[in-house]
Amino acid sequence: MALLVDLRTSHRYSFRTPVKLAFKLTLLPSSSGKAEGLHYILLIDTSGSMKGRKIELAKEGARLLLRNIPEGNYVTLIAFGTRELVSVLASRTPMDTERERLLRLIDELEPHDGTPLYRALRDAYQIARASGLPGYIVLLSDGQPTDVSSLERFRELEQPPGYRMVLVGIGLDYNHELFTLLADMSGGDFYHVSEAEVEKLPEILGSFSVETVAARSVELVLESPVGGIKLLNYEEPVIRLPSIEKESVTVLGEVEVPPLYEGTVLRARIRYEDPATDEIVEEVREADISPVHSRDLFLKGIDREVLDEYNYFLYMARAREALLKGKLDEATQKLSEAARLAEQTRKISYIEATRRLLAAAEQTRRLGDRAAVEDATRRLLSEATRRLRHV
């Protein structure tokens, strides 16, 4: 198997009162193959505000990304903010034969007017669905959408299945709430780049290519016979990813178990394509629970490791929610609690990452300049989003 599937729950037993059962499902790569048959959709903001150094560095990053994408994959290139508002410069173009043409198209990009982000995304989604391929949508922008401002309108856009978004926001004018929303809806990532850090754009964009994968066209369906599933780091119980690469993918969530319930509480159906054999692999994992009346036995059946890890990411999610609302003091409090829980997990990566975020939040609270506070808050928000996605 290209993936090892591990499903763990916080409780072995149900009790006389309802139990909130936390779960951790991990898809761990065990082998890999060449990354082929993936579709990269690159959307670049060419509005007037991108003029100068920003557009040149964005173009440099896009060129690096195109050079890094292996043969056997496809690229769509969309510029928004052109004289035509949105320009689809290349659609599902094979990298095997068209790499040089795509590089020339990047060279020709020039800033114009407006930021028609809604229309650009709508076109990208349509192209993604029509392609029939899994892939990645990489979006770079430094401004507010000038065509549609409502977050609900963006939420209503039909997400193409099997596409993960990577969003790069520059400066303080882009809509960070929208970028967070789009990252969450696609199980993707969000990066904040300050005006002083635009030199990092080539490095960031160039890192998004995928050379090897453990699995392609991954679909994970979570079901519970006892009721609704509440996920912590993904939006919906049906998760579709273009691929799983070197890092494992972990899904955290909870299910409320009725009193003295006996049987299956969670079922996970996993389907993916093995790149080494091109075969479709399907697996099922189930978590069962048994009723007990003894409080001591109930407590002995609690997996503290799973529960501590779930609670740690729960407070990380609450800190991120506070950041989205601009409540920096509350976010700092939640991060402080997350830092305490990180210590309980005894996982060095959790402890170090949370200490960095907490230190950054505390430093941000001491900043006097409003723009500096806004910049630091956006950075915290983007880092917390990536922290939740990469458990």
Query: DSSP assignment, residue 390?
Result: -
Are the beta carbons of 138 and 182 closer than 8 angstroms?
A: no
- Stretch (H or E) spanning 320: helix 304-324
Q: How far from the centroid of its chain's Cα atoms is residue 8's Cα?
A: 22
Kindly state the percentage of the chain with pLDDT values over 70. 100
| pLDDT tops 90 at residue 227 | no
| pLDDT tops 90 at residue 83 | no
Q: Tens digit of pLDDT for each residue in 291-339? A: 999 999 999 999 999 999 999 999 999 999 999 999 999 999 999 999 9
Are the beta carbons of 248 and 285 closer than 8 angstroms?
A: no
- Stretch (H or E) spanning 190: strand 189-193
CA-nearest of 95, 9, 14, 45 to 268 is: 9
How many helices (H) and strands (E) the chain has is answered by 11, 17
- Stretch (H or E) spanning 280: strand 279-291
Q: Report residue 352's pLDDT band, with 50, 70 and 90 as the boundaries.
A: very high
Mean pLDDT lowest among 77-86, 255-264, 268-277, 337-346:
77-86
Would you state the pLDDT for residue 114? 86
Q: Report residue 29's pLDDT band, with 50, 70 and 90 as the boundaries.
A: very high
SS3 195: helix
Would you state the pLDDT for residue 196? 94
| Cα gap 225→288, rounded to integer Å | 11
| Kind of pairing between the strands at 279-291 and 13-14 | parallel
Burial classification of residue 242, based on how many CB atoms lie within 10 Å of its CB (0-12 exposed, 13-18 middle, 19 or more buried): buried
Would you state the pLDDT for residue 1? 74
Mean pLDDT lowest among 37-46, 237-246, 367-376:
367-376
Token pair for 330: 């509350």
Q: Angle of helix 176-186 relative to helix 304-324, nearest 10 degrees? A: 150
Would you state the pLDDT for residue 287? 98
Mean pLDDT of 214-228: 96
